[in-house]
Every structure is written in structure tokens, then in C-alpha cells.
Amino acid sequence: MPRHAISLVIVFTAAVIMVAGCGGGGGGDSPATSYLPMEVGNTWDYTLTLAPGLVPAQIQDGQQFPYHESVIGVAELQGTSYYVVQARREAVGEYPERIWQQFRREDREAIYARIGDPAYDLPILKLPPQRGDSWADPVFPEVMFTTAAVAEQVTVPAGTFTCVRVDQEYDTTVEGSDSPVHVTVRSWYARGVGLVRDETLEDNIVTSTLELESYHVQ
């Protein structure tokens, strides 16, 4: 099975024709109450840290990146409307700047990220959030999601938020190892704010974190 942890940092997909403006993206909550508010002009600024649980010293050696997301338009894909989110990881040291696009939508049942080739909609948060809910990736059923908490307090540089936490779990293989690695991706969403924190663990060792620094949500 491919390694495709659905941290929102790494949802890559092909570009489409964009239509600037408001609206689109399904019929879920309004931006003011959504757990992932989508409105053209919304922005989020994060710090992405690689391998903090493996080599903490690397945080001072090119392993910490400013990372930004902004809603830049809406797109129609196969008769369904999505918000187009531009993600940008700033250049740090020997690592060049990276810019890519993501596509997201929301309806009354879930918030979705459009991923894969061929592309499909992956539910990343079931609605309304209920602790203990679980669901599988529709293409890779061995990848499981669970709503682990619905009122968990999380403190990041942007403040303290009451969050829904979604855990994604699966096993994968690593080159040079005979044993599978268990991957857990934990994502915290705050109503009216969006993704507040995200962390990836491999065999219970933290390999990346994402923390919200500031945001602008209409």
C-alpha cells in the first residue's frame, strides 16, 4: 500500500481551471462554523517541523519550515464544486520553495480532500463529529480514520483551541526493513478556525508536526 498519510500538508493533486470568487465547495456548515472554513481569501500560517522525535537538534539545522495555505478560488470537477487551496512551503537552507494546490469540499456528511490518480474524495472529518466514529479510505480500506476526541484542548502559537481530533492509522513497509511500520496521523480541527495542529508518528515516534501560527478566516 502506498504511503499516503492525509496530513493536509501533503495532499498533492493536479491543477485545474480555477474560477475566482466565493461560494462552491459543497453544502456543509458556513465558514464561520465549519471545522475547515473554506472561503476565498482565508489564510493560515503554520510552522512545519520535520523529525522532531528523531533528531531534535535538526530543528536548528534546516528542518523547520514556514508553511502557508490560502483559499484562492473554486473549481468544478466532474460536476462537483471544490475550493482550491494553495499550499506553500518556504525555502529554508538547501530546501527550495514548494508550491502546490489542494482541493477540498464539505457537505452535511463530511469534509473531503480530493487526492489520488485517478482522483477521489477522501473523507478527512465525518460530520457532525462524534467521538468513536470510524471510517475507511474508500480506495485503501486498510487505512482507517477515527474521531478520537470532540473537545480536546490544544495550545499552539496561535492560541488555545477546543478541537476535534481525527486519528488516521495504517501499516506500511520501509525500504531496508522486514517489519512493517505503524503510522499514525493525528489532526486537530477547531470550529471556525480550521486545522490547528497535525502530527505524524511512525511506531510511536513523532516524525513531523504542523502548528498554527496565525490565521485569517472570513
Using CA atoms, how far apart are residues 6 and 122, in angstroms rounded to an integer?
A: 9
Which pLDDT band, with edges at 50, 70 and 90, does 175 fall under?
A: confident
Using CA atoms, how far apart are residues 209 and 54, in angstroms rounded to an integer?
A: 12
Task: Name the phi and psi angles at 49, rounded to 5.
Answer: -120, 125
Question: Is the confidence at residue 198, as pLDDT, over 80?
Answer: yes
The reported pTM is: 0.84
pLDDT at 58: 46
Q: Counting beta carbons within 10 angstroms of the beta carbon of residue 190, is it exposed (0 to 12), middle (13 to 18) or buried (19 or more)? A: buried
146-156 tens-digit pLDDT: 999 999 999 99
DSSP 71: E
On whether the CB atoms of residues 82 and 104 are closer than 8 A, the answer is yes
Task: Lay out the sheet containing 194-202: strands in order across.
Answer: 120-126, 110-115, 98-106, 80-89, 64-77, 43-50, 205-216, 194-202, 181-190, 159-172, 144-156, 134-136
| Alpha carbons within 13 A on the beta-carbon side of 159 | 9
pLDDT at 174: 74
Question: Is the confidence at residue 2, as pLDDT, over 70?
Answer: no
80-106 tens-digit pLDDT: 999 999 999 999 888 899 999 999 999
Question: Is the confidence at residue 205, as pLDDT, over 50?
Answer: yes
C-alpha cell at 100: 502546490
DSSP 108: S
C-alpha cell at 189: 480541527
9-62 tens-digit pLDDT: 443 333 332 333 333 454 556 656 899 999 999 999 999 998 755 544 444 554
Would you call the peptide bond into 157 cis, given omega within 30 degrees of 0 as the criterion? no
Domains of the chain (ranges, CATH numbers): 8-216 (2.40.360)
Distances from the Cα of 70 to the Cαs of 148, 179, 212, in angstroms? 27, 39, 13
State which amino acid sits at residue 196. Answer: V
Range name among 24-28, 179-183, 192-196 with the lowest pLDDT average: 24-28
C-alpha cell at 201: 508518528
Rounded to the nearest integer, the mean pLDDT of the chain is: 85
pLDDT at 60: 52
